[in-house]
Structure 1
Amino acid sequence: MARDRKPRVYHAPFDVGGNAYYLSRAERGRGFISKTFVYFRQWFGYPIDRDLKVGAGGNPFLSIRWWFGLAEILFRADVVHFNFGTSLLSDLNRKWIMADLPLLNAVGISTFVTFQGCDSRISDFAIENFQVNACANCRSRLLCESSYNDYKREMINAALAWMDGVYAVNPDLLHNIPGAQFLPYSNCDTRTWVPPLDDEPDSGARLRVLHAPTWREIKGSDFVIAAIKELEAEGENVELVLVENVPHAEVRRVYETADLLVDQVLVGWYGGLAVELMALGKPVIAFLRERDLELIPVEMRDDLPVISATPETLKETLRGLIRDRAGLRLHGKRSRAFVEKWHAPDKVAEFTTTAYLKAIAARGGPVRVGARLGRLARFFGFYARFGLRTCASIWRGRLYSWVWRAGPAITAAFAILAAPFIWLAALWRLHVAARPASLWGTTPILTLPLLAEADRQMGFHSKTLAYTAYYITSKFDYVLKPQIEWLAKRFPFLIPVFRRLVFAWALIRFDVFHFFYDEGILERDGRFGVSNSELKWLRRFGKRIYLYAYGADIRTRKETEALGKFNCCTHCDRPGINCLCDSDAGAKNMEKFSKYATQLVSMGDMMAYTPGARRLWYWPIDLDKLSYVGTSVEVGGRPLRIFHAPNHGWAKGSQYLIAAVDKLRAEGVAIELDMVSGVPNDVVVSRMADCDVVVDQLLIGWHGYTALESMARGKPVICYIRDRAELVDAESCPIISANPDTIERVLRELVERPRVELADLGRRSRGYVERNYSISAVAARLGELYVDTAKFPRRVEAAISRRTSCLLPAEEVPAAGQLA
């Protein structure tokens, strides 16, 4: 520390319950210059050092006092200790997330923050994890769930990223603030708040129970009032002293006449009011959550004199205290000793000042005024350059918006310019060469290259197009991800133009367009949906349009939940995000698609969301790539190995499978689980070779592509099938159906079955895929689709019919001795 200067600490911009003020006075006693700066003086009347006159919800930039306060902090402060989980520039409505921290950090000021309650209490977490909580019936719950919870999370993340110390005065807040430290209240000067000299309650007098809520819903006041009224009605010697909306300077006389305080029965910890009453030697009742007590010092937990009660136990707790005045006096004495040990401001200041000194030393000591000026110049110089770049970015964004809004006009212009080439190319392909061209895209689904190959078997010139590629596969003919990323970095306003150039190229190049329901070549309509403009232009130029479902693009919550007890929405972790979800949006999409598409196509459980769609099983399997390995008969005592490869565990019911396997293993059943997720498809296919049985999913009600890949490898498959009528060749389908209620029983039965039976089931699985899901089988179905709906010229239609009838059937499954 500098030779002749005391460290300077500023507490801002709120002082909740006098906590910051009394802590600052204790810090002064330890040789610091400590002050409180607040945005506004609260009606409670706690003392402060300076009111910056910003006002509740006010814009600090409009307060001259705020500017003077900021200047003093920038040039004099060594430490700024923020309170109520905020900073000098934080505001929910203005979307300010501790915007001043980069500036303070650049100057070399150490920063700390104390979270004090609703500034960091996440309502959805509290409701989900705590049976008794203050959020369920709070009048601000809708605000929290709509925007405030997300704001709190962002504030917490900013504090953890920037600040030297993060504290919480309530232990339940530590669940939401990883790495924060518990800091006891320091809102009561124990030298002036002492027990009254005549504080000996008369055992025959009415027990005066004090309750002084600042927010009734959070404190559980209705439960407190009801409990005391019931006790009075039952003849117990008790009365309620209810104090509300009274300035702090006037309430101490009331506090001194009370015999007992009921602080709250919902939050899980006591508040600053309880500290004041304990300093007066008064017993305190408050709900203490056992789970939260693990987060405070062990010695403090052992010393706690607070009497815990929930809304259900409060009445009987009070009844016992009414009849035990001697025990009540003992609780009062313990309360006073507890406050002196844990809540005396000088004890708390000992902890905070030590942390301040460490933070200042870590930054190289106090920063002198000259150095601060230099740092400010560098900081604002950087942000001046950054601001210029930001302005340029804003104008690029506006240009992008203009180009995007002009999209239909640009599309029309390109289409009109390309019209002669479009008609000539189509005329040549369909009427001269008799070889149509098809495009599969643009959702990067694993099966696109195989579907294009199926089209080629029908004599088409077929290609695949994707704008991006996932970790599963990137084997598409045209992947435009590098071009999109290049434009996004340099000329984002040209992305809509680029997509329309691609669309014009596709109009010239292809006759048949196969899209999934979620997106085509142009920007989608909403979260899911091929562009209405794109569909119109495709039809105007006589293109054939086929739309297919993959799941999330058509799945709506209302219709899904109506399917039965087990469904894809049962454990959805992000409703409204993972799938389409909105029934109205889904209905509008289907109406639009039905109007323009040559044919809607769907299968399995997806038929429920696509009225009027043609049932066509369109998941081809590359049997050359997925060679038969089967299930081994000789395993040498190895446990039954279950393989599971979910892309989204919540949708596949993975937790039920894990629980079933764990339970069976605990019982000594010879079974093990091999589970992978988030890896390329080649890894999944390789890993499944070593297993005995594959579990696809237990909730959706229809098998996925992984089930077909597993069957192609000769593996028995477990999967929840809601309606076997939706299966192709249902009578010969070897899939074992199981749901969360039956998976344990099904696994147990499989363990007990001879391995030779599992091997036979695997051979049947391979045969089923060869007959129904080979590329040739899917190509034949596509041929029938084209003949029935495409209305190609006669030469093309005849060629498709001939190829469809000539497609060779799948090879017979080899005998067991011939299998590799």
Structure 2
Amino acid sequence: MKLYQTGRPLMNSLVASAQWLRSKSKRLVASMLRLHLSRAERELGLVPGALSRVDSLLIARRRNELLIHVVDEESARLHLTSGVTVQEAVTNIRQGVIERVIAVVRQDSGLQHFQLPELLQACRRHPDIAAAWLESVVCNRKYNGGDEATNVFSAIRSIRANEPLIDFFGAGELPFEMKEFMPSYLWAEPKKRSAVLLNNCYYYYEVLAAALRRRGWEVRTASFEPLDSPSRKFYWNREEVIYDPDPIENRRKAAEFFRSVVERFGVVQLYGQFQMSCFKENWSFGGKSSIPWDFLEMRRRGIVVGYTPSGCLDGARQSSIRRVSGGMCSRCVLEDQPTFCSDELNGGWAEQLDLMCDWVGLENDYAVDERTGPRYVRRPIVTGLDPSIWTPELTVPREYVIDRRPDEILVYHAFANKRTRQADGRDSKGSAVVVAAVERLQREGIPIKLFYATDIPITEVRFYQAQADIVVDQLYYGRLGSNAREALMLGRPLVTRIDSAQDGRAEPLDSMATVPAIPADESTIYDVLRRLVLERDSLREIGRRSREYALKWHSDDVCAARFERVTDRARAGLAVDIDEHPYV
């Protein structure tokens, strides 16, 4: 009987013994792990085997958290995949990067999440064996049930229906690919009312922010627009700018901003067509619809998402606006530019707003087809003005004083971005008609002067408006724009076309029907101006009514109170239009 072996036979025997011991150890640790998971199932009230007897897992990482999802029959039909490899996950656990394991499991009551310290402990104590077990059950392929999503909107619906699995839907997408910047999967409600007003909405978001702060809100205004943008002349430029010319640094700043928003704020109010993301890569420009992954994460966390349209093409089909506005589109340079305005483009964006927003404020704009759902608010909410800034007693600095004769009636008319919005005989505001009417009156000896404003910085505009005896706004569209609202708050007589009719309703929209404007269109503007000049004593009373209307509907404190009521009701799942449903 040989008591020992030498050379290769001995080495082979030792290797075999080590493999046998390792196999036994692996089975033992795996059994112990399953035992811990079984105990966790009982403590959490899960179905036996929900964690301990799994065939397939998905894993993802957020900063210091590892998420695992047990793939069930329903999950296998979704477009899911792992967001991190087993090796990366175990390495992160070894290095102390991952401090918490969260399991997302489907129960009878739906998808639930639980913390799993047992799995974290096993990975720390036996990383190689735990890695081997995870390798045997973690799937890195894309689950899709054999069917690809037909379009972005069906994908968004699927994600909204399975929000706890968002990390596995969005694996490899922004912001989920930037794992170190992701917020915790778990969250708490903000202790106080708080809002982020996102992107430059002229000055409205800055005015609203100040009024909300007076009501005790925490408010942050921000945009992603470069400081050298030519559009900045139309903003107050007081917001936090999230931008860097270096693409990598710009993405990092956007990711940090996103994390700070979802960790601290309960309301996000967005402005900017197709810009529903903190990441430009997720914007839907050029007819390309994209999934707004970060805004879907906001929705998962219960953040109220609101939207402020920028105009007629923002969320309404061109054919709908053409029908209700009396053919306004035929006067617009964008009518035949489908990359900017078309039924398909506008309708697609309207569908995304309907899927993603808790509420959309029309601010007196036309409520047509897509804009008549339960998420739409018809009357003013966001377009508030500070009465102490737009005041009839405004002192005009010397450099803004308009040269005029003492007896002249001064008419103010404005058309921003005139060079791009007026071409080939198309003129969406009727500016050419206004100019022609004033010139005709001047030839007749009527003491009238036109101040035609275009591309004046928005911080200076009110100094010119305040000197006007009459402000003429658009003659075609029938609803109020910023120039009209400013004129009303300044107590200036306003001449414009007013259409208070509501599509599909017999009664007019009260907040438009009561506008104290002098009605005019392209066929009557000459006669209206002539009458007002000859009856100039009536202008003071008209201006008084202008201010009275503006204080009722567009005062900053009034709008802030209305904004608060709308967002509170949106959070509670109630009808958001506080005027249509005043007693809900």
Same fold by TM-score greater than 0.5: yes
Residue 412 of structure 2 corresponds to 643
Are residue 477 (structure 1) and residue 246 (structure 2) matched?
no
Residue 202 of structure 2 corresponds to 445
> Considering only CA atoms, is the larger Rg found in Structure 1 or Structure 2?
1
Residue 331 of structure 2 aligns with an amino acid whose one-letter code is: T
Residue 615 of structure 1 aligns with an amino acid whose one-letter code is: R
* 1:789-818 CA distance string (max 9 Å, x none): 11299xxxxxxxxxx9xxxxxxxxxxxxxx
Kept in 1, the 8 Å contact 2:448–2:533? The answer is yes
Q: In proportion to residue count, which structure has more helix?
A: 1
Distance 1:637 1:464, change over 3 A: closer
Kept in 2, the 8 Å contact 1:645–1:676? The answer is yes
Residue 696 of structure 1 aligns with an amino acid whose one-letter code is: D
Query: Is 555-564 or 586-595 further displaced after alignment?
Result: 555-564
Distance 1:714 1:581, change over 3 A: same
SS at match of 2:207: helix
Q: Percent identity?
A: 21
Residue 565 of structure 2 aligns with an amino acid whose one-letter code is: E
State which of 529, 534, 538 in structure 1 corresponds to 2:294: 534
Residue 471 of structure 2 corresponds to 694
* 1:538-592 CA distance string (max 9 Å, x none): 1122211111212143354322322344515414168427x84121222222222
SS at match of 1:535: helix
1:565 and 1:647 map into 2 onto residues whose CA distance is 23
Residue 279 of structure 2 corresponds to 522
- Deviation of 1:515 after TM superposition, in Å, equals 0.6
- Deviation of 1:536 after TM superposition, in Å, equals 1.6
2:356 and 2:350 map into 1 onto residues whose CA distance is 10
- Cα RMSD (Å) of the superposition? 3.3
SS at match of 1:465: strand
Aligned length: 373
Residue 42 of structure 1 corresponds to none
1:587 and 1:789 map into 2 onto residues whose CA distance is 23
State which of 367, 383, 387 in structure 2 corresponds to 1:623: 387
Distance 1:474 1:713, change over 3 A: closer
State which of 484, 488, 494 in structure 2 corresponds to 1:717: 494
Structure 1 residues 381-780: aligned runs within 5 Å? 409-414=173-178, 418-420=182-184, 423-424=186-187, 426-427=188-189, 429=190, 433=191, 435-468=192-225, 470-480=232-242, 483-485=243-245, 487=246, 492-516=247-271, 518=273, 519-520=275-276, 521-523=278-280, 524-527=283-286, 531-551=291-311, 552-554=313-315, 556-572=317-333, 575-576=336-337, 580-608=340-368, 610-612=371-373, 613-617=376-380, 618-629=382-393, 638-649=407-418, 650-723=427-500, 728-730=510-512, 732-753=514-535, 755-780=536-561
Residue 647 of structure 1 aligns with an amino acid whose one-letter code is: A
- Deviation of 1:686 after TM superposition, in Å, equals 0.5
1:568 and 1:648 map into 2 onto residues whose CA distance is 18
SS at match of 1:484: coil
SS at match of 2:173: helix
* 1:370-391 CA distance string (max 9 Å, x none): xxxxxxxxxxxxxxxxxxxxxx
Distance 1:531 1:744, change over 3 A: farther
SS at match of 2:434: helix
* 1:322-359 CA distance string (max 9 Å, x none): xxxxxxxxxxxxxxxxxxxxxxxxxxxxxxxxxxxxxx
Distance 1:737 1:484, change over 3 A: farther
Kept in 1, the 8 Å contact 2:314–2:350? The answer is no
Kept in 1, the 8 Å contact 2:174–2:294? The answer is no
SS at match of 2:367: helix
1:412 and 1:653 map into 2 onto residues whose CA distance is 48
- Deviation of 1:513 after TM superposition, in Å, equals 0.6
Distance 1:556 1:581, change over 3 A: farther
Distance 1:408 1:581, change over 3 A: farther
Kept in 2, the 8 Å contact 1:719–1:738? The answer is yes
- Deviation of 1:606 after TM superposition, in Å, equals 4.0
Kept in 1, the 8 Å contact 2:182–2:255? The answer is no
Structure 1 residues 306-317: aligned runs within 5 Å? none
SS at match of 2:392: coil
Kept in 2, the 8 Å contact 1:440–1:463? The answer is yes
Residue 567 of structure 2 corresponds to 786
SS at match of 1:762: helix
Residue 361 of structure 2 aligns with an amino acid whose one-letter code is: V
Distance 1:573 1:594, change over 3 A: closer
- Deviation of 1:669 after TM superposition, in Å, equals 2.3
Q: Give ranges in structure 1 of 5+ residues lacking alignment.
A: 1-405, 794-803, 805-820
2:327 and 2:193 map into 1 onto residues whose CA distance is 43
1:530 and 1:663 map into 2 onto residues whose CA distance is 51
Kept in 1, the 8 Å contact 2:233–2:457? The answer is yes
Q: Give ranges in structure 2 of 5+ residues lacking alignment.
A: 1-169, 226-230, 395-403, 419-426, 503-507, 575-581
Give structure 1 regions of 4+ aligned residues with deviation exceeding 6 angstroms: none
Kept in 2, the 8 Å contact 1:549–1:606? The answer is no
Residue 448 of structure 2 aligns with an amino acid whose one-letter code is: I
2:179 and 2:193 map into 1 onto residues whose CA distance is 20
1:534 and 1:582 map into 2 onto residues whose CA distance is 27
1:414 and 1:699 map into 2 onto residues whose CA distance is 48
SS at match of 1:628: coil
2:462 and 2:452 map into 1 onto residues whose CA distance is 12
Residue 599 of structure 1 aligns with an amino acid whose one-letter code is: W
Distance 1:787 1:543, change over 3 A: closer
SS at match of 1:454: helix
1:473 and 1:417 map into 2 onto residues whose CA distance is 30
1:470 and 1:636 map into 2 onto residues whose CA distance is 34
- Deviation of 1:466 after TM superposition, in Å, equals 1.1
Distance 1:646 1:484, change over 3 A: same
Distance 1:456 1:611, change over 3 A: same
